[in-house]
Amino acid sequence: MRMYRMKRALSAAAVFLLLAGLSSLTGCCLFSQAPVASFTATPTTGPAPLTVNFDASASYDPDGRIENYKWDFGDGSAGYGVVVTHTFAQAKDYIVRLTVRDDCGKTASTSQTIKVTGPVPSEGKIAFYRFPGPEIYVINVDGSDYHRITFADHDFRDPDWSPDGTRIAFTKGNWRIWVVDADGGNLHEIPIDEGINARHPAWSPDGTRIAFSCSLEGQDEICVVNIDGSGFQKLTHLGDAQKPDWSPDGTKLAFTRRSEVWVMNTDGSNPHRVTSCSSIAYPAWSPDGRKIAFDKSAEIWVVDAHGGNPHQLIDPGWHPTWSPDGTKIAFLSRKYKGFDTDQYDIYIMNADGSDVHNITNTLDISEYAPDWSPALP
């Protein structure tokens, strides 16, 4: 009996020592919680090749620390680290999975879909709006692939491409600024104060801000906001200031005031007139920043950015927009079918006004407000 008691005591001691050893080796891992995996991806859609920035800094471990971040990009490649960048070469939907492992060896995973579309043609695309709706449409510059990208049955107007060609900002009929991906996805409003009427959006060259016409206290002014709706600023205090367009280097804004083209610095300083005529609308900087095109009394004109050498390119024409290389201008007209009509079509001409040709030619339908996308490599 005594021997039996001794064996039981030794067994209990062994178990105690074993548990103590495990505890010393694993700390509290036997009772720890699993980590939480979370990440952001910017952008989540765009044309190939698409470079996406991934950030897993929102991942955490409730009672320990995360020691490993592993990425599966869905194209056969992997990455490691809290913040990583990956380029997707082909057009398809990729499921990107993040797996995190904590200091106790426990893991958690989460995933997002990255949608990569076909590459933008080297000459870009043209966005515009048309009825019914109106809604936003896109067309290749050769007239092919004419298609609608919004289906909300709202009054959508005045499209403006983001500088990377992945998104389009536009005006919704109740004077709000909205954004949609170039493939029609992720339709959302930019949250601007409800007391501000906003229209005619213009994306900054660095893609971080949008300038727009804003109505405040009965006056039209030029305002700017970050793309997430923060950082609202009223840049002008002139009255009747509308239809902004950024210079390619992002240092200046052209706009119309009392039917003239004006230019100012992007902080609102040094506003000054660069034309001395009337009935002007829709100024558009050339890609090299040297010229500004505009429509004047149903004619397309060009003026040097400092105000010299104004000259007419074509009659009739409205709402000019430059090609990415500056060699061509797209515009609206309603006469170049060979007869007068009340319907507007989109035309393209050389920057000197030659070689005018139609790219829409739709029967009984008018297109409006063309905007030429950037060309991607």
Residues 145 and 93 in one domain: no
Residues 212 and 320 in one domain: yes
In a domain, 276, yes or no: yes
Residues 193 and 129 in one domain: yes
Please state, in angstroms and rounded to a whole number, the distance separating the CA atoms of residues 94 and 375: 24
Domain boundary residue, one of 68, 93, 117:
117
Residues 133 and 101 in one domain: no
In a domain, 3, yes or no: no
Residues 257 and 338 in one domain: yes
What's the pTM value of the predicted model, to 2 decimals?
0.68
How many structural domains compose the chain?
A: 2
In a domain, 10, yes or no: no
Per-residue pLDDT reduced to its tens digit, 156-203: 999 999 999 999 999 998 789 999 999 999 999 999 988 899 999 999
Residue 8 or 75, more confident? 75
CATH of the domain at 77: 2.60.40.10
Domain boundary residue, one of 59, 91, 117:
117
Residues 293 and 217 in one domain: yes
In a domain, 377, yes or no: no
Per-residue pLDDT reduced to its tens digit, 2-27: 444 444 443 444 444 444 444 444 45
Residue 365: how many other CB atoms lie within 10 Å: 13
With cut-offs at 50, 70 and 90, classify the pLDDT of residue 80: very high
Residues 174 and 100 in one domain: no
The DSSP element (H or E) to which 13 belongs, if any, is helix 2-26
Share of the chain above pLDDT 90, in %: 68
Model pLDDT, residue 47: 75
Residues 50 and 170 in one domain: no
User: Which residues lie below 8 Å from residue 368, measured CB to CB, with a gap of 6+?
Assistant: 128, 129, 130, 134, 157, 319, 332, 344
Domain boundary residue, one of 88, 117, 146:
117
Model pLDDT, residue 140: 92
Residues 153 and 273 in one domain: yes
Residues 324 and 202 in one domain: yes
CB of 331 within 8 A of CB of 300?
A: yes
In a domain, 210, yes or no: yes
Q: Read out DSSP for 25-73?
A: HHTTGGGPPPPB---EEE-SEEESSEEEEEE-TT-B-TTS-EEEEEEE-
In a domain, 22, yes or no: no
Q: Are strands 107-117 and 280-285 parallel, antiparallel or unpaired?
A: unpaired
Residues 79 and 159 in one domain: no
Residues 158 and 209 in one domain: yes
CB of 39 within 8 A of CB of 112?
A: yes
Q: Which of 204, 191, 190, 154 is nearest to 174 (CA)?
A: 154
Calculate mean pLDDT across residues 225-248.
Answer: 95
In a domain, 175, yes or no: yes
**Residue that is written with structure tokens 């900054």 in the block:** 204
Mean pLDDT of all residues in the chain? 87
With cut-offs at 50, 70 and 90, classify the pLDDT of residue 55: very high
Residue 156 or 278, more confident? 156
In a domain, 183, yes or no: yes
Model pLDDT, residue 361: 80
Q: How many helices (H) and strands (E) would you count in the chain?
A: 1, 32
The residue range of the domain holding 133 is 125-372
| pLDDT at position 343 over 60 | yes
CATH of the domain at 268: 2.120.10.30
